[in-house]
Amino acid sequence: MDYTLAALKLLCIQLKAARPTHDSSQSSISYGPILFQRAWLQGVIISLPSTADGRFLVDDGTGVVELVASRDFINRDWKLGAYVMVVGGCVIRDDDLPLIKVHKIVDLSAFPHREAMWYLEVLEAYKLFYKPLIEDP
């Protein structure tokens, strides 16, 4: 994992539009010309973590992403409908949901304004950082 590449603030629909690259020794993902390996998303838990493989689903209103978490994360008291922030390594799979290998997950349910603020944060990041790179040939 190349930690010099930033974790992009993305919506699920944007992550779904990203494409894998294999140009370097560590595979990266491109969103337009932007290379990344980790994503930062927020959404609602729509399936509880499997004790067998740590997989569960999060929906951010634009799409669904599959998470895979270690025992440290799945042993927490997760609830359906909990609003969470997730940062982790990304895997783009053809004809399947994007996958995030969880590095950090935080339950933000106690802060109901976080969901509305998240959309503004992603919009701001897109307008300030991503859009100029995508539109500048």
pLDDT digits (tens, 9 = 90+) for 80-119: 999 999 999 999 988 899 999 999 999 999 998 999 999 9
Would the CA dihedral through 30, 68, 84, 1 be positive or negative? Answer: negative
Assigned CATH topology for domain 8-135: OB fold (Dihydrolipoamide Acetyltransferase, E2P) (2.40.50)
> d(Cα 92, Cα 15) in Å, to the nearest integer?
8
pLDDT digits (tens, 9 = 90+) for 10-33: 999 999 999 988 765 567 899 988
Query: What residue ranges do the domains of the chain occupy?
Result: 8-135
Residue 61 main-chain phi, psi, to 5 deg: 95, -20
Residue carrying structure tokens 């609830």: 79
**pTM for the whole structure:** 0.90
